[in-house]
Amino acid sequence: MNAPTFRQASLVPHQLVTHRLFTHWLPVAAARPGMSAPWWQWVASKDSLTTRLTVAGDTKAFRVQLLRQTVGFPLRDEALALGIAPRRYAWLREVALCVGNKPWVVARSVAPLSQLQGKGLEGLGERSLGSWLFRQPDLVRGPLYATRHQPRFVVEQSALLADSVWGRRSVFQHSGLSLLVQEYFLSSMADDLDLPSR
């Protein structure tokens, strides 16, 4: 008699936690039905976003604006994506990718601090992390996930008004380093490139 009651009780919190952590990010293919073809080209691409933005900006200058680079704890869902404990120190980097002085994308990258040794990323400053990553010959990119939620870190950290159309994220692996890169495409980019609202 007791067993079913016990099973039910333990199932409910598990479902709640799963729901809270996973509803925001969908495998990119599952988000595709709600996404226009032009946005799919941006969100599902696996090559360097830095390069794509530079090309799309044409004569307008591309620039990485550093919003914050620090050591801290990852968010719970970031730790989960990296497969690490939430209370493990991580390198956190938040940037705006600007084209012609307008932020088109905001990005937050997270890596376990212990894996960063000898990579020289601390001094990256306003150089593109993507340019560095895509120069690594052993680079492997994990599956892409997409979201419609707004980037929380921008609201918390800066005066920048970031109105995201689509967000995406994936984990890069390179010689013992796992790096979660989360990128949010802003409505200013949609305006400048004449992209649909979703």
Ligand X SMILES: C=C(O[C@@H]1C=C(C(=O)O)C=C[C@H]1O)C(=O)O
Q: How many residues bind ligand X (CB under 6 A)?
A: 16
The distance from CA 181 to its chain's CA centroid, rounded to whole angstroms, is 4
Answer for which of 97, 111, 144, 195 binds ligand X (CB under 6 A) is: 97
Piece of the chain touching ligand X by CB under 6 A; list 17-25, 112-120, 122-130, 190-198: 122-130
CB atoms within 10 A of CB 129: 18
Contact flag: residue 178 with ligand X (CB under 6 A): no
Contact 64, 126 (CB under 8 A): yes
The answer on whether 21 is annotated among ligand-binding residues is no
Least CB distance to ligand X at residue 124 (A): 7
Residues 34-93 that bind ligand X (CB under 6 A): 48-50, 64, 93
Sequence-distant (6+) residues with CB within 8 A of 160 are 67, 96, 103, 106, 154
Distance CA 4, CA 27 (A): 34
Nearest to ligand X of 109, 115 (CB atom):
109
Please report, in angstroms and rounded to a whole number, the separation of the first and last CA atoms in the chain: 51
Least CB distance to ligand X at residue 193 (A): 16
Residue ranges at the known binding site: 93, 129, 183
